[in-house]
Amino acid sequence: MPPKKILIVEDEPAMVRLLRDNLVYEGYEVLVATDGEVALTTAFEQSPDLILLDIMLPKLDGLTICKRLRERHLATPILMLTARNLEQDKVTGLKIGADDYLTKPFSLAELLARTEAILRRAGTPRLETFQFGDITVNFTSFEAIKNGRALDLSPREFEILRYLVEHRGQVVSRSEMLDRIWGYTGQALTRTVDSHIANLRQKIEDLPSQPLYIQTVHRIGYKFTG
């Protein structure tokens, strides 16, 4: 497999050097753009697999770049690097199509972990249908059938089920679910997750009090086994 190509959009030479050296060391192919206009051209001409995007940049800022890329339907994952610890930048960034963000100063280990996670996610096509026990779920048409009978799942319940199924065999924490499914970045009630899980169990499990598919992992979250 050819190495994954990462475009670094950053204007501070020391930061460029740090990112480039470490990513190259990890085996990535690295491109660098030090201003907003070059970033746009490079993103379209070189089709990187991931863009690390600083916000404060000469010519065009990171948020504008992100918006323009998405307006022109470039689906490349974007990891925003925000220098200011402003919640607003993160929220705006995610709303206009960034996939994740890191606040400076961040650790290299964290950056590499996020980079890897985003690339892994981007390489896995989303699950369309899944069968477990006597249940068949189509996540594209939002249909779930149990024993020949249609289940009445809400769109949110489909999302939760899909997330659990996509991570089957792994423990998924409540905060991860809030973040990935509800899109909450701050503190939120983990009870929200529990009540949705309880409803979902009522619909899919034969004995909701002794669930076969959605297991509770004490004090952490849930695990799908099916």
Choices 4-12, 67-75, 119-127, 208-216; region in contact with Ca ion by CB under 5 A = 4-12
Angle value at C-alpha 97, between 95 and 100, nearest 5 degrees: 90
- Bridge-based pairing of strands 29-33 and 5-9 is parallel
Give least dist CB 89 to Ca ion, A. 12
Q: Does 89 bind Ca ion (CB under 5 A)?
A: no
Q: Does 112 bind Ca ion (CB under 5 A)?
A: no
Using CA atoms, how far residue 102 sits from 23, 25, 128, 168, in Å, is 16, 21, 30, 27
Give least dist CB 4 to Ca ion, A. 24
CB 144 within 8 A of CB 137: yes
Q: How far apart are CA 164 and CA 189, in angstroms?
A: 19
Is residue 194 within a helix (H) or strand (E), and if so which, with residue range?
helix 190-204
Q: Does 102 bind Ca ion (CB under 5 A)?
A: no
Q: Where are the beta strands (DSSP E) in 118-185?
A: 129-132, 135-138, 143-146, 149-150, 171-173
Q: How far apart are CA 176 and CA 185, in angstroms?
A: 10
Give least dist CB 11 to Ca ion, A. 5
Subset of 32-71 contacting Ca ion (CB under 5 A): 54, 56
Kindly tell me which of 56 and 165 has the beta carbon lying closer to Ca ion: 56
Residue type, 124: T
Q: Does 157 bind Ca ion (CB under 5 A)?
A: no
Choices 3-11, 135-143, 166-174, 180-188; region in contact with Ca ion by CB under 5 A = 3-11
Give least dist CB 108 to Ca ion, A. 18
* Count, residues near Ca ion per rule CB under 5 A: 3
Choices 10-18, 98-106, 165-173, 194-202; region in contact with Ca ion by CB under 5 A = 10-18
Kindly tell me which of 18 and 56 has the beta carbon lying closer to Ca ion: 56
Kindly tell me which of 49 and 54 has the beta carbon lying closer to Ca ion: 54
Q: How far apart are CA 183 and CA 115, in angstroms?
A: 19
Give least dist CB 81 to Ca ion, A. 8
Question: Which residues lie near Ca ion (CB under 5 A)?
Answer: 11, 54, 56
